[in-house]
Amino acid sequence: MSAKFEIYKDKAGEFRFRLKAANGEIIASSEGYASKQSCENGIASVKNNAAAAEIVDQT
């Protein structure tokens, strides 16, 4: 099993996504979106930008 994005509706009726690792652990969760399409756009943005993201160590 690989990591996967799950789209769901929260109690307020907003669409959200969470990213689950292969072991089922939630490793990221999103803000609320008014539409499913906006939520899917958020997932696409994470997919497109994550590989190029810089790691900033603030310890």
Local confidence pLDDT in tens for the 59 residues of the chain: 699 999 999 999 999 999 999 999 999 999 999 999 999 999 999 999 988 889 999 99
Q: What share of the chain is helix, strand, coil (3-state, %, to 5)?
A: 25, 30, 45
Task: Write out the H or E segment, with its range, that includes residue 9.
Answer: strand 4-9
**Which pLDDT does position 43 carry in this prediction?**
97
CATH of region 4-50: 3.30.160.160
Which residue from 28, 25, 36 is spatially nearest to 53, judged by alpha carbons? 28
pLDDT at 36: 98
Looking at residue 51, its pLDDT comes to 84
Q: How far apart are CA 44 and CA 23, in angstroms?
A: 22
CA neighbor of 22 nearest in space, from 52, 45, 39, 1:
1
